[in-house]
Structure 1
Amino acid sequence: MCIGRKYKAFKDGRRVEQKVIISIVTAKRRMLRDCKLLKKLSLLFEFVHRVILFVFYYSICNHFNFQQMYQTSVSAALRVSLA
């Protein structure tokens, strides 16, 4: 047995945390759910980071009109995003 948390809501908007006894199976299920959520958030952050890098490289290359640098940065960004 493990100790979990349960929230009791009232009509006036208050929430009170109560400690309850839960089974080990329920505790493991909750832990796995949290790990899956963290993994999805991590993948989302990584994707956004790659998009920001791609836009940054693209804007620098357009600013300086370096065609070779542009091709190199685009291919590097695509390699990173496909990896």
Structure 2
Amino acid sequence: MSSDPTLTGESTNPKPAEARYEVREDAEETWQIVDTANGLPAATNGRDLVQLVHKDAIELAKELNDCEQGGLESPLI
């Protein structure tokens, strides 16, 4: 029986083998997007992408990974 990573605090990775950005629980019921290249929260416009609701974190991580994998300019500043 596999456990749900959203309940255990493990990372929730939108594209397991290739994703640069992962969603991880940062506090009870809030989530952050972590840049796996450096292990730090991703940031944009001087703001760390932390304390997000799960749905928003998943959507943002997917967009970031899609840009990264498609060779597009990162939307992060």
TM-score of the superposed pair, with normalisation by structure 2: 0.31
Higher percent of residues as helix = 1
Structure having the higher Rg: 1
Indicate the structure whose relative CO is greater, using CA pairs within 8 Å and at least 6 residues apart: 2
Higher percent of residues as strand = 2
TM-score of the superposed pair, with normalisation by structure 1: 0.29
